[in-house]
Amino acid sequence: MPKKPEDRSPAFAALKRRQFLQAAVLPCFAPGVALAAPAAADAQFTVEAKFYEKLPYKKIKCKLCPRECVIDDRERGYCGVRENHGGTYYSLVYSRVCSANIDPIEKKPLFHFAPGTMAFSVATAGCNVNCKMCQNWEISQVRPEQVRADYVPPAKLAGLASGNHCYSIAYTYSEPVVFCEYVLDAAAAGHAAGIKSVVISGGYIQREPLMELCRRVDAIKVDLKAFSEKFYKEVVNGELKPVLETIAAIRKQGVWNEIVYLVIPTLNDSDQEFRALARWIKTEIGPDAPLHFSRFHPEYLLKNLPSTPVETLERAKAICDAEGLNYVYVGNVPGHPAESTRCPKCRRVVVERAGFTVRAINLDNGKCRFCHNTIPGVWEGALHV
């Protein structure tokens, strides 16, 4: 059937595109996870931000991440989820959950934190960087009004995690730094219900909010995008130095921390970079910090590059092993032997994994069952297999 004349107008076409995007960009809810009905108004998602400075003429300076956006009245910061209203800064994504799933903790990945348990994983819209390889750009690179969401206040979130037999709540998929106020309150509500909290972040955050997170959550996994400022500037639109400072600070606070490095062909896969990374971790964090080399697949703005050869990941692991790191993993390669945790003393497998499935745990009170060497991590609550 031919289109009606009015259907060909630019305004009609734009409307159609908006309707398509609103319908297509949907949250990913796990089967059986019943959430609250969508909010009637944005007001219930809005709370005053915790980390900012008031300036003259109703301006504010955001003190949440290293960007320190200076924002005029009725404007938003780089992340798009915080807005200045008359000199008071507000988060627009408090309890505004646009994605919720029940995931194995191994998917985060956290390998030394309660292996075999499940995490109730949530996200809001927004991010404070723009990685060209982002896997979740549909929610991280949009404003909150552009994606469907549900109102899930902290107590409700804790109840959902408990009701679905999850050991932890994971703040993930987009960037938890930009919904920091929600993370802090939800972690407190989770602890009151006996539920742990883990943060999956790029680590681009200022010290004060980071210290608040360290006091509230039980583990933080940082995605270290590369070990060069050039990569961070050109591919991430961020900075490396603050991320390294974040990783070091987390370890000093005694919060369990793991590092993931997505290996991208031609961009961050040189032997020199792997070696420099290993030496920095060993010196600044210690040889027991788990390091995951993850396989890249073409995504978002980097569809021109091939998937990472498995041999490259194995080479990265071999370099870091030789530099003295004790727990180096290969990720996004289901069935690879380097998914499992080996005791660095006797070389026996203490946590056997196949993809996201834990097949065996040979630990007794955090010690290798074979040689009794202590394996660093948070083993309380681990699956009994």
Contact between residue 171 and residue 199 where contact means Cβ atoms under 8 Å apart: yes
Backbone angles phi, psi at 187, to 5 degrees: -65, -40
pLDDT of residue 287: 98
* Residue, of 322 and 33, whose pLDDT is higher: 322
Express each pLDDT in 155-176 by its tens digit. Answer: 999 999 999 999 999 999 999 9
345 vs 122: CA distance, rounded Å = 37
Report domain extents, the chain.
Answer: 43-91
If residue 151 lies in a helix (H) or strand (E), which one and from where to where? strand 150-151
Express each pLDDT in 58-67 by its tens digit. Answer: 999 999 999 9
pLDDT of residue 1: 38
State both tokens at 139: 């929610």
Per-residue pLDDT band at 24 (split at 50, 70, 90): very low
pLDDT of residue 383: 84
pLDDT of residue 32: 37
Express each pLDDT in 254-270 by its tens digit. Answer: 999 999 999 999 999 99
206 vs 42: CA distance, rounded Å = 27
Express each pLDDT in 268-280 by its tens digit. Answer: 999 999 999 999 9
With 50 as the cut, is the pLDDT of residue 89 above it? yes
pLDDT averaged over the chain?
A: 91
pLDDT of residue 9: 37
Mean pLDDT of 9-29: 38
Express each pLDDT in 225-258 by its tens digit. Answer: 999 999 999 999 999 999 999 999 999 999 999 9
Closest of 254, 77, 231, 328 to residue 243, by C-alpha: 231
State both tokens at 175: 């960037």
With 50 as the cut, is the pLDDT of residue 208 above it? yes
Percent of the chain predicted with pLDDT > 90: 87
* pTM, two decimal places: 0.89
DSSP SS3 for 8: helix
Express each pLDDT in 124-142 by its tens digit. Answer: 999 999 999 999 999 999 9
pLDDT of residue 385: 66
Express each pLDDT in 328-362 by its tens digit. Answer: 999 999 999 999 999 999 999 999 999 999 999 99
DSSP SS3 for 76: strand
Asked whether the bond before 109 is cis by omega within 30 degrees of 0, the reply is yes
Contacts of the segment 207-212: beta carbons below 8 A, 24+ positions apart: 207/245, 207/249, 208/51, 208/63, 209/50, 209/51, 209/63, 209/64, 209/177, 209/180, 210/246, 210/249, 210/250, 211/249, 211/253, 212/50, 212/180, 212/184
Q: Residue 146, Cβ neighbours under 10 Å: how many?
A: 16
